Amino acid sequence: MKIARRKALWVLAVCGFLSLAGPARADVVTEWNELTFRVSLIGGASPLNAGRVAAIVQAAVFDALNGIDRRYTPVHVAPPDSCLGASRRAAAVQAAFEILVKVYGASATAANQQATLEGKYAASLADIRSGERAASVDKGIACGHEVATGIWNWRSADGFNTPLPPFFGVTAPGQWRSTPTDPYPGVPQPMAGLQYATMTTWVVPNHGFFQILSGPPALGSPQYLRDLAETRTMGSRTSTARTADQTNGAWLWAAGSAPYLWNAIALQLMRHRDDDSDRDDHGHGDSESRGRDRDDLLEQARILAKLHVAMAESGIGCWDQKVKYNFWRPITAIRESGDPTWTPLFATPAHQDYPSGHSCVSGAATTILADEFGEKTRFTLTSDVLVDESRSFRRFSEALEDVKNARIFAGIHFRTACDDGTVLGKAVAQYVLDNAFQRVR
């Protein structure tokens, strides 16, 4: 499948997910979460950049709501006085809106979506004002503005916009260089996301934390030869060893970026939890229901912020290690080992094999979600564009193994890159769990 078809799948998957899932809930936290992915897609953001924006949005929404309830340690902005007595819904909407406008609004270099964002913002505020006191809503707007400004000033100086000379790789054996299908045949592409290798961290103290991996196996070592043989056999576009189910799994895990897919799974689990809670609370009074709804906003914001901050942090760590080891992709290794026409199932992304980005992010995501919902949690990964295709899992570790296999069966990674990527992602997520979003009352 060509890179254009993969992009089309991603576009349809996100739009289909939003159109089906958006109206299912009327809470502003998940509505603006879903809108974040939609405008990132329309704005042409890469998976790495879309994940960064999602983390910024969710951090702002969480710190705004937490500034009102003051229940957890903040991501970055200490609870401001402007948040006292503020409308929770207005604060959440204002925080998300201001971040998204800065990224995808009139002054953005990406597709200008100012009108879309302003329309959604106006509709959200009109709905809020119809049911809440004007003074509380005004305070919510001020709260969201102050927190979003603090988060934006922090992350806009994280190195994302630092100009770096393009890196096309090294031609020595074992070293990454632009690959033949990356992403257009015959057109060398520089490394994508290079600035992430030195970007300011979110929660971990510094880049020294990421130095926990031992690196890819030495060329010619038994592990390297096993990795090479596995991907050569299982990841070839014309492989007869790869089953139809394995091929479908590779495509399903590529139907969206890793942050998008795990975000969708998180929303699925949050809704199931809410449905169960609604059944448990059947018959409770209006005041208690309203109180639980207020709690739900903060808890939803906490889960999504924790998830996206951990995934964004793991992306920074992953790219740090990619640059450090600069290991070549399977297509280069296999073609230079005597099979010059070998072609992977997927077009190879424009960055190094080790460690696998999807595996890093998925390792972080499964650690966060297992901590929140329990390791033995059942969920289903579906796609609106791969008809009748879904994968059901009984636990998060099972899904993580499926992710690793999917990258190998796609022909774009070696086994060690996937195994070690999950190690890094899990370590990052555990640090986030131990040191951020801590209960204070």
Which of 39, 18, 53 is closest to 148 using CA atoms? 53
φ, ψ of residue 380 to 5 degrees: the values are: -130, 130
Q: How far apart are CA 96 and CA 63, in angstroms?
A: 11
Neighbours of 177 (CB within 10 A): 18
Residue 108, pLDDT score: 67
Please say whether the beta carbons of 304 and 29 come within 8 A: yes
Give me the count of residues in the chain.
Answer: 441
Q: Which two tokens stand for residue 50?
A: 């879309």
Q: Which two tokens stand for residue 124?
A: 């959200």
Neighbours of 108 (CB within 10 A): 16
Residue 213, pLDDT score: 98
| Residue that has been written with the tokens 């936290």 in this structure | 29
Residue 145, Cα to own-chain centre: how many angstroms? Answer: 24
Which of 21, 4, 34, 64 is closest to 263 using CA atoms? 34
Q: What stretches of 212-356 show up as alpha helix (H) in DSSP?
A: 222-234, 244-253, 258-280, 286-325, 330-335
Residue 290, pLDDT score: 46
Q: What stretches of 347-395 show up as alpha helix (H) in DSSP?
A: 357-373
> Global pTM?
0.92
Looking at residue 195, what DSSP letter applies?
G
Q: Which two tokens stand for residue 236?
A: 């070839």
Please say whether the beta carbons of 212 and 205 come within 8 A: no
Residue 383, pLDDT score: 80
Residue 279, pLDDT score: 62
For residue 439, the SS3 value is strand
Q: Which two tokens stand for residue 206?
A: 């510094």
**72 - beta bridge partners?**
439
User: Residue 165: is the preceding peptide bond cis (ω within 30°)?
Assistant: no
| Rama region for 263: left / alpha / beta (φ>0; ψ in -120 to 50; rest) | alpha
| Residue that has been written with the tokens 């499948």 in this structure | 1
Please say whether the beta carbons of 231 and 407 come within 8 A: no
pLDDT by residue for the chain (441 residues), tens only, comes to 343 444 444 444 444 444 333 333 349 999 999 999 999 999 989 999 999 999 999 999 999 999 999 999 999 999 999 999 999 999 999 999 999 999 999 876 657 899 999 999 999 999 999 999 999 999 999 999 999 999 999 999 999 999 999 999 999 999 999 988 765 677 889 999 999 999 999 999 999 999 999 999 999 999 999 999 999 999 999 999 999 999 999 999 998 899 999 999 999 999 998 877 666 655 554 444 444 555 799 999 999 999 999 999 999 999 999 999 999 999 999 999 999 999 999 999 999 999 999 999 999 999 999 999 999 999 999 887 777 789 999 999 999 999 999 999 999 999 999 999 999 999 999 999 999 999 997
Q: How far is CA 16 from CA 12, 20, 84, 197, 344, in A?
A: 6, 6, 38, 33, 28
Residue 10, pLDDT score: 43
Please say whether the beta carbons of 213 and 420 come within 8 A: yes
Residue 184, pLDDT score: 65
Q: How far is CA 278 from CA 27, 267, 274, 303, in A?
A: 15, 16, 6, 19
φ, ψ of residue 45 to 5 degrees: the values are: -70, 140
Neighbours of 283 (CB within 10 A): 5
Separation of first and last alpha carbons in the chain: 52
Residue 42, Cα to own-chain centre: how many angstroms? Answer: 16
Please say whether the beta carbons of 94 and 143 come within 8 A: yes
Please say whether the beta carbons of 343 and 281 come within 8 A: no
Helix axes 28-42, 286-325, angle to 10 degrees: 30
| Residue that has been written with the tokens 């070592």 in this structure | 221
Q: How far apart are CA 271 and CA 249, in angstroms?
A: 25
φ, ψ of residue 187 to 5 degrees: the values are: -115, 100
For residue 431, the SS3 value is helix
